[in-house]
Amino acid sequence: MTELQNDRFLRALLKQPVDRTPIWMMRQAGRYLPEYRETRARAGDFLSLCKNADLACEVTLQPLERYPLDAAILFSDILTIPDAMGLGLYFETGEGPKFRQTIRSEQDFALLSRPKMDDELGYVMNAVSTIRRELNGRVPLIGFTGSPWTLATYMIEGGSSKDFRHSKAMLYSNPALMHALLDQLAEVIIDYLNAQIAAGAQAVQIFDSWGGALSHRAYTEFSLQYMTKIVAGLNREAEGRKVPVILFTKGGGQWLEAMAESGADALGLDWTTSLADARSRVGDKVALQGNMDPSVLYAKPEYIRQEVGQILQEYGQGSGHVFNLGHGIHQFVDPDHAKAFIEAVVELSPQYHTQR
């Protein structure tokens, strides 16, 4: 494998000294980029794009051609796993993801299959190895998965949800079934991330997008417990380097101390938590990733730059911060505003890394 030319993202996740704060954006390859929309149109639809390694690689690299980003993220989706377990994923234009089959009873659960990483999910591993080859050591590649709880909500609801009616009902009325589902998902996710690491992923992120919808006690029992199990099951070394793990519970600011005990190297933060506060609460245990409100990118470039300055100041001196948005970039953002954002981080952050 080619030598990595830019490792400040991997170093910051391990709190090793860096020359400036690294940056990438959640959903950095996506609809706000006209070139993404063009490639997706060529693929036909989103799922065909995910399943074509050359086109998935092409869109992964698109934001790197435009901006000085410090990491690439695999172009795929968290819903590849439930799809491969037999639920039949499809997207209806403007309506988000849907499943043909839902899991609401023991009978439904019994129908779930255990997907093979070199078969049903082989297309994801092909995308990872193709992207690694084309990146040619420019920046590290991030692999990812959804958390068991987040995937379970899609499998139980049959798609996106606002109130998690069926998932919450199962959690409180049939916790044994919920635990069986979460445990099976955790097992599949361990295989999935280990296969991504074997194919070339150099860091991995667990997206717990809906962990914040859980009650205080339920979060530990139904989400964090299973993410901790996953972290313990990962091969944490590849190509002679540690493979850092990032845990991102959206809306999880109140649980940072507990999350820091999960074994993860870094925690992702949304914009509702102060970085200064988060840093003092987790101490030296983990690095932090985040946390600008993605909607700030609707503002003028001067304002975006000011906001970046504030967030850098909140984290303060030293390594252990990966700049990011607090959630995915919105589809209506002007790509020039994303550019102003990334350049502000590049220009304003070196002063926070003077004691190397």
Ligand X SMILES: Cc1c2[nH]c(c1CCC(=O)O)Cc1[nH]c(c(CCC(=O)O)c1C)Cc1[nH]c(c(CCC(=O)O)c1C)Cc1[nH]c(c(C)c1CCC(=O)O)C2
Whether residue 28 contacts residue 352, with contact meaning beta carbons closer than 8 Å, is answered with no
> Which is nearer to ligand X, 31 or 236 (by Cβ)?
31
Distance between CA atoms of residues 40 and 48, nearest Å: 8
- Per CB under 6 A, the segment of 70-78, 102-110, 127-135, 336-344 that binds ligand X is 70-78
Q: Shortest distance, CB of residue 249 to ligand X, whole angstroms?
A: 10
Q: Is 261 in a helix, a strand, or coil?
A: coil
Figure out which of the listed residues 145, 209, 249, 262 binds ligand X, where binding follows CB under 6 A.
209
Residue 27 labelled as part of a binding site: yes
Q: Is 345 in a helix, a strand, or coil?
A: helix
Interface with ligand X, residue 200, by CB under 6 A? no
Interface with ligand X, residue 352, by CB under 6 A? no
Q: Is 322 in a helix, a strand, or coil?
A: strand
Whether residue 55 contacts residue 65, with contact meaning beta carbons closer than 8 Å, is answered with no
> Which is nearer to ligand X, 24 or 352 (by Cβ)?
24
Distance between CA atoms of residues 305 and 79, nearest Å: 34
Interface with ligand X, residue 85, by CB under 6 A? no
Residues 233-272 that bind ligand X (CB under 6 A): 250
Whether residue 345 contacts residue 309, with contact meaning beta carbons closer than 8 Å, is answered with no
Number of residues that bind ligand X (CB under 6 A): 21
Distance between CA atoms of residues 137 and 154, nearest Å: 35
Q: Is 299 in a helix, a strand, or coil?
A: coil
Interface with ligand X, residue 330, by CB under 6 A? no
Q: Shortest distance, CB of residue 73 to ligand X, whole angstroms?
A: 5
Active site residue 31: yes
- Per CB under 6 A, the segment of 24-32, 171-179, 277-285, 290-298 that binds ligand X is 24-32
Interface with ligand X, residue 297, by CB under 6 A? no
Interface with ligand X, residue 26, by CB under 6 A? yes
Interface with ligand X, residue 79, by CB under 6 A? yes
Among candidate residues 159, 140, 155, the one with its CA nearest the CA of residue 204:
140
For tokens 């995915």, the residue is 328
Figure out which of the listed residues 23, 29, 199, 259 binds ligand X, where binding follows CB under 6 A.
29
Distance between CA atoms of residues 11 and 318, nearest Å: 12
Strand positions, DSSP E, the chain = 72-73, 89-92, 96-99, 141-146, 203-208, 237-238, 241-242, 245-249, 266-268, 287-292, 321-325
Distance between CA atoms of residues 226 and 252, nearest Å: 15
Interface with ligand X, residue 66, by CB under 6 A? no
Active site residue 66: no
Interface with ligand X, residue 73, by CB under 6 A? yes
> Which is nearer to ligand X, 26 or 112 (by Cβ)?
26
Residue 30 labelled as part of a binding site: yes
Active site residue 27: yes
Distance between CA atoms of residues 182 and 329, nearest Å: 28
Active site residue 40: yes
Dihedral of the alpha carbons of 242, 137, 47, 167, in degrees to the nearest 10: 20
- Per CB under 6 A, the segment of 25-33, 172-180, 263-271, 310-318 that binds ligand X is 25-33
Catalytic site residue from 67, 154, 219, 315: 154
Whether residue 158 contacts residue 171, with contact meaning beta carbons closer than 8 Å, is answered with no
Q: Shortest distance, CB of residue 39 to ligand X, whole angstroms?
A: 10
Active site residue 77: yes
Interface with ligand X, residue 139, by CB under 6 A? no
Catalytic site residue from 77, 83, 265, 270: 77
Among candidate residues 120, 286, 117, the one with its CA nearest the CA of residue 197:
117
Figure out which of the listed residues 22, 30, 143, 326 binds ligand X, where binding follows CB under 6 A.
30
Whether residue 21 contacts residue 323, with contact meaning beta carbons closer than 8 Å, is answered with yes
Which residues contact ligand X (rule: CB under 6 A)? 26-31, 40, 46, 73, 75, 77-79, 96-97, 144, 160, 207, 209, 250, 328
Annotated binding residues for substrate, as ranges? 27-31, 77, 154, 209, 327
Catalytic residues, by residue number, are 27, 31, 40, 77, 154
